[in-house]
Amino acid sequence: MWLIALILSPFIIWGDIKLFKYYFTCIFSDKDDFDESIKYSFTSDWYSLFKGEYRKDYAATSKLSMFCGLCIGTVILEIFILNAIFF
């Protein structure tokens, strides 16, 4: 069973990378939008509130959280499926 899982792992990783790129293009408009989301995730909410950018901060942080959640959720789902099939 380990041999089959070892043979399939490069294809699963390749599929994950393609799926993560799809998630990225669906959530973010371009790389600058992603960079802005990272910037706002490290910026304090109070600071954004006083600058008048709280809504942009909230939206950008939500986008980044959704992207990370989808990627982590995909990997966890694959682990459950592979454990059910092979073990």
Give the domain ranges of the chain.
13-41+54-86
Distance from the Cα of residue 45 to its chain's centroid:
22
Place of tokens 């393609």: 18
Give the C-alpha separation, 18 to 52, whole Å.
37
- From first CA to last CA, the distance across the chain in angstroms is 8
pLDDT band at 5 (very low <50, low <70, confident <90, very high): confident
The closest alpha carbon to 54, from 69, 42, 64, 44, belongs to 44
Share of the chain above pLDDT 70, in %: 99
pLDDT digits (tens, 9 = 90+) for 23-55: 999 999 999 999 999 998 998 888 888 888 899
pTM beyond 0.75: the answer is: yes
